[in-house]
Amino acid sequence: QVQLVESGGDSVQTGGSLRLSCLTSEYIISGYCMAWFRQPAGKEREGVAAIDSGGTSTYADSAKGRFTISQDNVKNILYLQMNSLKPEDSAMYYCAAVPDLGTCLYSDSGQIPLSEYNSWGQGTQVTVSS
């Protein structure tokens, strides 16, 4: 398994912004799919955004227009810029990775396929208060 270390979680008010970071190793960024998932308390983990090794990205409907996934190939960091945060965005956010085999962006249901990802970080907590 590869090592992924998230940071940047915090408590903010509705409408605020946060940028999450996921530090990884060089070969991960260049040859892997990377994604952000989140898990609200008491709920299932869900995909938020993902990006493949070619730079194609996808977003959950709840994230479109507000969140942006990006990666810095020099610093080997995956980012999630989150704007216009809402209380329903409160969750533990996880960085995940998998070798890019062409199946990491969409499942049959159109969602980011959680089961495809086999390396996970420890998570960083985001809390949005109203």
pLDDT tens profile 21-42: 999 976 777 789 999 999 999 9
Residues belonging to the chain: 130
Measure Cα distances from 35 to 14, 15, 45, 114 in Å: 24, 23, 12, 9
pLDDT tens profile 74-124: 889 999 999 999 999 999 999 999 999 988 998 777 789 999 999 999 999
pLDDT the model gives residue 1: 73
Among candidates 20, 19, 21, 12, which has minimal Cα distance to 85?
12
